[in-house]
Amino acid sequence: MKRVLLGAVVIVLVFGLSTAAVAQSTTGALVGDVTDSSGARLPGVGVKVVSQQTGAARDTITNELGSYRFNGLPPADYNVTVELSGFKGIERKAVNVAIGGTSTVNFTMEVASITDTIQVTEQAPLVETKENAVQTLIDNKHIQELPLKSRNFMDLALLSPGVVMDQGAAAGGQVTPISFGALDARYKSIWLEGVDFNDEVTSGGSSLSDPTRIQLAQEAIQEFQVMATGYSTEFGRSAGGVINIVSKSGTNSFHGNVFYFRRSDKFAKPPFTVSNGVASPLNPEPFSKIQQTGGTVGGPIKKDKAHFFFSYERQLSDRTVSVNIPAAIKSFVSGLGYDTRTEVPVDTKVNNYVGKLTFVLHPSHTLNLSYLYDDRRLPNQQVSSSSAADHGYNDVRAAYFLVGNLTSLLGSKSVNEFRFSRSIQKLNRIVPGNNLPQLSFPSVSFGQASNIPQSRQQYNWVFVDTASRHFTGFFGEHDLKFGGQANKVYAVGRINNSFNGAYSFQRDQPVTAADRAPNACQPYNANTCSLPFSFTQGIDLRNNNAQIERSVNIYYGFVNDSWRVTPRFTMNLGLRWDYIQWVGDLNGTPYPSGVSEFELFRRMIVGDLRGVNYVTMPEQHDWSPRFGFSWDTRGNGRTVVRGSFGYYYDRVNTTSLRSVIDGYNGFTTSAVSNDARTTGVANTFFPSLPRAGQISSAGGTSFNVPNPSGKFPYTQQSTIGIQHQFASNWAFAVDYNHTFGQHFQQSRNVNAPINQPCTGAACIYPVIPGSSIRLIVLDNSGVVKIDQLQTRLQGRLNKMTLNVGYTIAKAKGDAGTPVDAYNMHDFGPLSNDVRHRVTSNAIYELPFQIHLGGILTFNTAAPYNKVLGTANFNDRGNTARAAGVGFNAGRGEDFFTLDL
């Protein structure tokens, strides 16, 4: 209770004091020093910045140390002017300020006998001496000019050192398969317009589909940051990295574009299959065509005062999926009423809208209103070569996102930014045709899938206030930043749990009339009987498609000080507090006092606590201290040494928690099953559902139980690096990063026998004596250890920009389901452990304003787990590996691509 009160005090202080001071989540900063020709600092110099896009102007004067700072500048190009009586005025044009960045522009003023102004056209420095974070800015030029066959701007995040393609998410076709430091794609955080933009249900998508959050059209994006490590305490809820996005705004000039993109298999090499080393074209050949069309328009409503921007994009994807149905079972399955089409159309339709209004309410107050809407119709999902048309589903989803941002200048040194957001995300997975029981043959599955239909909705209210104040004193200059957020999430979901039943077959062959005769397959013989060997069915104990509320309330507060101790040395000190409060079904009954975990588990399965919804894991308050420094070694802005250390806490997605509740004994569903291979009793009732007395075993053989000792995952990240600008247009950087993480998601059977090998009555089960029931705990005890050496080369030539990155890394961690239930540290390479990765991109300006862009990517093979698919050491799961084979011991193929 004291910790809750302390957290509440932090939030109250953050919001109560915010009027005294701006965060850089949607804006940037412009800083610099003004000196005379002898190097002496000049206080009292007038400094003015004017946006080239909107005409918005700000002015200040240099302090007693001769330095100036503008916080809260929207990303844009600015003209900067300095003036002081007795000196020549200086104007520098087209100074770019990026989202979340700090641009440094220094001036050296000369004595003048008459009033005149010098125009300076030199480019901004390649080395930023006041930042310690390892981050990459993907600006609008790269978004527009680099080739993206996916038309998904998030793919450009893969150009950043330390970022790799998440293998599992990519295999599932997700739109954000981005891994920071080899962690799972779920361990990242996405921000849009300064607001938490994450999907609380899955964190980053599932094996079935993308996250329900809005997918953003490439043409609507102004720029985004890719922050790998060392970022400030303003950003959190991520054990890995952060992607911070800002959309385009209108300007004082009318601009617009229209576009049409088409990808067709007519331009591709025909697909083929390989059998016994021989490649053969697919017959019939699947069809594929993708079209994307739309446009943007933006301009002034009233010059310098109000602006608008609008974007629309429509995607049409027409393709066919080939289902491989063995000829031996096709007519048999068709006769039972199942869909046996071998060519299934998948014609998806997506409409995406983005609108933004900007109002200068007062010279000190600017309001931005953004609205996004995304509508998707995705038929025949999950259909594949081994999944028939009636085993898939139609995916229908819609998402709405409204955000308001009020930026207020409170004097020349303080800025406050208040943001609010309302978002609605809806997803429905609908059975496309019949609702017959599932049939699973070795080659292909038919009928209603065990997890369909399902639906989920998420409704968010988000309120954020962040502030900053620049002041001089206490041994140097300070930029104090603080703020907090309240995010109220109401979420509900429904899911099918094999309510229609599911049959599994030993071979791809039809059931014979002889085997259907009474007692023909008694006792069951897997080698001779054609009947299905297994039948399972879920029984809903509450209502069909059981609904679970998985709401959460999310709070955080932070304070961060960028302390310029000397003109050459800057420190960043920060502290962050995170708290997630379970609501609805997640906020179950508190654990009974004085009861051990094993006693709690036993009573939930065979005792008086059956059917009680216990909270899946405790709520917790997380404190994240962070420290960083940057040192301009020579004072000329060309060489900087930087480093950082910090704690980075993540969250547990509500899908994982819902799955735990789904498996409680007596709460949502109870399985009715029969495996003829072990019982010897054939499923002679096929193809009908069984009647009373026709099942040899009733009740579940596996249940979930809560984890009273559960923790949230976190990482400790340490970095040290150096960046040096050589010549006038080249810079090179080297950074070493070490990451140690704990409490990553694992699952284990706490009732696995403690004596091995054993059979029958000889097995000793620790939780329920004499019973082999599997009791699965979401253990969250996984450990990760990651080391990376990242190098980057930047070049700005006459007509070309060039970026080359190379990362050598080693990433290891624990298996999600260890082979041995009593040895959780089943250590091996992480699934995204790419040892060597090279990324390079270039943009070259040809005559007639034609731009040639290219992306080159190479990485060595990622690992995979080599399992036998049989029972493991003591858990009776299917994660067993051959003797001497470790976790993720296999390696795939190297990867190389060149896009022009």
CB of 306 within 8 A of CB of 251? no
E strands present in 198-334:
221-229, 241-247, 255-264, 272-275, 278-281, 288-302, 306-322
CB of 220 within 8 A of CB of 296? yes
Residue 6 banded pLDDT, cuts 50, 70, 90: very low
Residue 589 predicted with pLDDT over 80: yes
- What local confidence, expressed as pLDDT, does residue 355 receive? 96
**Residue 396's beta-bridge partner residues?**
377, 428
Residue 115 predicted with pLDDT over 70: no
Residue 648 banded pLDDT, cuts 50, 70, 90: very high
Query: Residue 436: which of 448, 424, 444 has the closest Cα?
Result: 448
Residue 795 is encoded by which pair of tokens? 């070049």
Q: Kindly state the average pLDDT of the residues 440-462.
A: 90
E strands present in 171-266:
178-180, 188-192, 195-196, 221-229, 241-247, 255-264
Query: pLDDT tens for residues 207-242?
Result: 555 665 677 888 999 999 999 999 999 998 899 999
Mean pLDDT of the chain: 86
Identify the residue whose tokens are 């250390």.
645
If one compares 473 and 860, the residue with the highest pLDDT of the two is 860
- What local confidence, expressed as pLDDT, does residue 3 receive? 45
CA distance 885 to 328: 37
If one compares 123 and 707, the residue with the highest pLDDT of the two is 707
- Residues in Cβ contact with 389 at an 8 Å cutoff, skipping those fewer than 6 apart: 323, 339, 341, 344, 380, 383, 432, 433
- What local confidence, expressed as pLDDT, does residue 833 receive? 94
Q: Kindly state the average pLDDT of the residues 536-545.
A: 70
Query: pLDDT tens for residues 678-728?
Result: 778 888 889 888 876 676 555 567 889 999 999 999 999 999 999 999 988
CA distance 892 to 813: 18
Residue 653 banded pLDDT, cuts 50, 70, 90: confident
Query: pLDDT tens for residues 343-389?
Result: 999 999 999 999 999 999 998 899 999 999 999 999 998 898 899 99
- What local confidence, expressed as pLDDT, does residue 205 receive? 56
* Phi, psi of 605, deg, nearest 5: -95, -45
Reported for 112-117, long-range contacts at CB under 8 A and 24+ positions apart, including other chains, are 112/86, 112/87, 112/88, 115/89, 116/88, 116/89, 117/81, 117/88, 117/89, 117/90, 117/91
- What local confidence, expressed as pLDDT, does residue 265 receive? 77
* Omega before 523 within 30 of 0, i.e. cis: yes
Single-letter residue type at 110 = E
- What local confidence, expressed as pLDDT, does residue 21 receive? 33
Q: What angle do CA 855, 858, 862 make, to 5 degrees?
A: 135
Q: Kindly state the average pLDDT of the residues 431-454.
A: 88
- The DSSP output letter for 127 is -
Residue 609 predicted with pLDDT over 70: yes
Q: Kindly state the average pLDDT of the residues 467-477.
A: 88
Residue 285 predicted with pLDDT over 70: no
Q: What angle do CA 197, 202, 208 make, to 5 degrees?
A: 120
Q: How many CB atoms lie within 10 A of CB 100?
A: 29
Of all residues in the chain, what percent carry a pLDDT higher than 70? 91
Residue 23 banded pLDDT, cuts 50, 70, 90: very low
CB of 405 within 8 A of CB of 368? yes
- What local confidence, expressed as pLDDT, does residue 680 receive? 83
CA distances from 151 to 3, 136, 385 (A): 46, 20, 27
Residue 840 predicted with pLDDT over 90: yes
- What local confidence, expressed as pLDDT, does residue 431 receive? 87
- What local confidence, expressed as pLDDT, does residue 444 receive? 95
CA distance 455 to 451: 10
CB of 26 within 8 A of CB of 404? no
- What local confidence, expressed as pLDDT, does residue 389 receive? 93
